[in-house]
């Protein structure tokens, strides 16, 4: 079946089987491999993308469920000239990543988090990141990065 999507600002028509997960469509058909798969139980958040501005786990939903949706992946948030989004820059500045595998999902969750709770405290950020597992960083620097990204986004 055909699904029309807008992915990172570009229209895309996908020919997918009805049981194709959104993450499969993104990774395998659109070849946007920044969105990762870390589990098969919708627990880790490595696959998080924005659908119509909201962070969702793309391993937990079918591509066919989102006709006409605007999808943003990690590849779609830097400026056209490659300048990183303030949240990406904050992750680098705060050393909020190590192996980088959870990172795209973390950044996408962080974007939604900051939009929904621009005043979130450290404790609230820890709470709101509950759906994203990082095995490398111990989270402290991720939390710092989200705080810094949050401040930068508020200024922007």
Partner 1 sequence: MGASDFSKLPHIGEAIRRKEDYRFLTGAGQYTDDINLANQRVAVFVRSPHAHAAIRSIDASRAEAMPGVARVFTGKDVEGKMGGLPCGWLITSTDGTPMKEPPHPILAQGKVRYVGDHVAMVVADTLQQAKDAAEAVEVEYDVLPAVVRVEDAKKGPALHDAAPDNRCYKWAIGDKAQVDAAFAKAAHVTKLDLVNNRLVPNPLEPRAAIGSYNRASDEYTLYVSNQNPHVERLLMTAFVLGLPEHKVRVIAPDVGGGFGAKIYLYAEDVALTWAAKQLNCAIKWTCERSEAFLCDAHGRDHVSHAEMAMDQDGKFLALRVHTDANLGAYLSTFSTAVPTILYATLLAGQYTTPQVYCEVDAWFTNTAPVDAYRGAGRPEATYLLERLVTRCAWEMGLGQDEIRNRNFITQFPYQTPVALQYDTGDFHACMDKAKKLAEVEGFAARRKASEARGLKRGIGYSSYIEACGIAPSNIAGALGARAGLFECGEIRVHPTGSVTVFTGSHSHGQGHETSFAQVVAARLGIPIENVDVVHGDTGRVPFGMGTYGSRSISVGGAAIMRALDKIETKAKKIAAHLMEASDADIEFAGGEFTVKGTDKKIPFGQVALTAYVPHNYPLDKLEPGLNETAFYDPTNFTFPGGTYIAEVEVDPATGVVRIDRFTAVDDFGTIINPMIVEGQVHGGLAQGIGQALMEQCVYDRETGQLLTGSFMDYAMPRADDLPSFRLDTNATPCTHNPLGTKGCGEAGAIGSPPAVINAVLDALADLGVKDIDMPASPSRVWEAIQAAR
Residue ranges in contact with partner 1 by CB under 8 A: 27, 32-41, 43-44, 46, 73-75, 78, 82, 84, 88, 91-93, 95, 97-104, 107, 122-123, 125-127, 129-130, 132-143
Q: CA-to-CA distance for 7 and 1, rounded, in angstroms?
A: 18
Task: Identify which of 133, 122, 140 has the alpha carbon closest to the alpha carbon of residue 46.
Answer: 133
Task: Verify binding: residue 43, ligand FES, rule CB under 6 A.
Answer: yes
Q: CA-to-CA distance for 26 and 107, rounded, in angstroms?
A: 17
Instruction: Please say which residue, 10 or 130, places its beta carbon nearer to partner 1.
Output: 130
| Residue 130: contacted member of ligand FES, partner 1, none (CB under 5 to 8 Å, by partner type) | partner 1
**Residues found near ligand FES in the complex (CB under 6 A):** 37-39, 42-47, 57, 59, 97-103, 134-137
């Amino acid at each position: 079946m055909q699904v029309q999507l807008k992915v990172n600002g570009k229209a895309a028509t996908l020919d997918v089987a009805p049981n194709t997960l959104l993450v499969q469509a993104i990774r395998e058909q659109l070849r946007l491999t920044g969105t990762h798969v870390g589990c098969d139980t919708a627990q880790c958040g490595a696959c998080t993308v924005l659908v119509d501005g909201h962070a969702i786990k793309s391993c937990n939903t079918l591509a066919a469920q989102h006709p006409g949706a605007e999808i943003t992946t990690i590849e779609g948030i830097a400026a056209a000239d490659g300048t990183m989004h303030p949240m990406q820059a904050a992750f680098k500045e705060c050393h909020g990543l190590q192996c980088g595998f959870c990172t795209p999902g973390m950044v996408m969750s962080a974007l939604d988090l900051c939009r929904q709770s621009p005043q979130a405290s450290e404790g609230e950020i820890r709470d709101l990141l509950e759906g994203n597992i990082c095995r490398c960083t111990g989270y402290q620097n991720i939390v710092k990065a989200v705080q810094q990204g949050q401040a930068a986004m508020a200024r922007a």
